Chains A and B, each alone.
Chain A
Amino acid sequence: AQKITQTQPGMFVQEKEAVTLDCTYDTSDPSYGLFWYKQPSSGEMIFLIYQGSYDQQNATEGRYSLNFQKARKSANLVISASQLGDSAMYFCAFNAGGTSYGKLTFGQGTILTVHP
């Protein structure tokens, strides 16, 4: 079974600085996808970024980039130029390829607090 681990319960960053949120995964599937979601205090889950296991380049979406190290099975999220609105819970998620139909396995999350 797949496992997702986020080892940082909480992180603090100064506004306008960059921050890295860690995520490691464990799988024997050759094809899989990795996702990051943001959950503000309102509770909604906001899709941020996706990385496929066969993608050669790291994914980027605006201020978000995914530092994908396949051999180390890590998929860290980098947020550049942090903003106060980035304060939220961040979840890393995994789904296996093939006939998994997109079923996501989530990590425990990291609470990010951005200080002014």
Chain B
Amino acid sequence: SQTIHQWPATLVQPVGSPLSLECTVEGTSNPNLYWYRQAAGRGLQLLFYSIGIDQISSEVPQNLSASRPQDRQFILSSKKLLLSDSGFYLCAWSLGIPDRGYEQYFGPGTRLTVT
């Protein structure tokens, strides 16, 4: 069966510091991968998605970047964090099956607080 891991689970970082959040998927190959952010009490906003290694698309202009160095690894980064980067970051994967609407499964998330 497939599993998705994210780390760290929680992170407190000062403004201006760099960021690296990691997501890995096990038990499948060539998944579509996604990064979402959730502000407190709000719905999720898609940040990036990837349909293959080194194929990254950004959905909103922001202070963040994403990379996919391996098939089942997705990394979210920032060179200098802003206060507005605080939130709950969720990674998700899908098999890319149109008949199932690209059904997505989420990782446990990383709670980021920028101070």
Contacts and interface: CB of A to CB of B under 8 A. Distances in A.
Interface of A: 4, 32-35, 37, 42-47, 50, 52, 91, 93, 95, 97, 100-109
A44 B106 contact: yes
B102 to A, nearest CB: 3
B13 to A, nearest CB: 18
Contacts of B102: 33, 95, 100-102
A105 B44 CA distance: 8
Contacts of B99: 52
- CB-CB nearest 7 A-B residue pairs: A102-B102, A33-B101, A106-B43, A45-B106, A106-B44, A43-B109, A102-B94
B108 A43 contact: yes
Contacts of A97: 98, 101
Contacts of A102: 32, 34, 49, 94, 96, 101-104
Contacts of A103: 34, 46, 49, 59
Contacts of A107: 43
Given A43-B109, A47-B103, A47-B105, 15 more contacts: A4-B43, A34-B101, A35-B104, A42-B108, A45-B90, A45-B92, A50-B100, A91-B43, A97-B101, A101-B57, A101-B102, A103-B46, A104-B36, A105-B46, A106-B44
Contact of B43 (A34, A35, A95, A108): A108
Interface of B: 32, 34, 36, 42-46, 49, 51, 57, 59, 88, 90, 92, 94, 96, 98-109, 111
A101 to B, nearest CB: 6
Contact of A101 (B44, B49, B103): B49
A45 B99 CA distance: 21
Contacts of B101: 32-35, 50, 52, 95, 97, 102
B36 to A, nearest CB: 8
Nearest to B98: A97
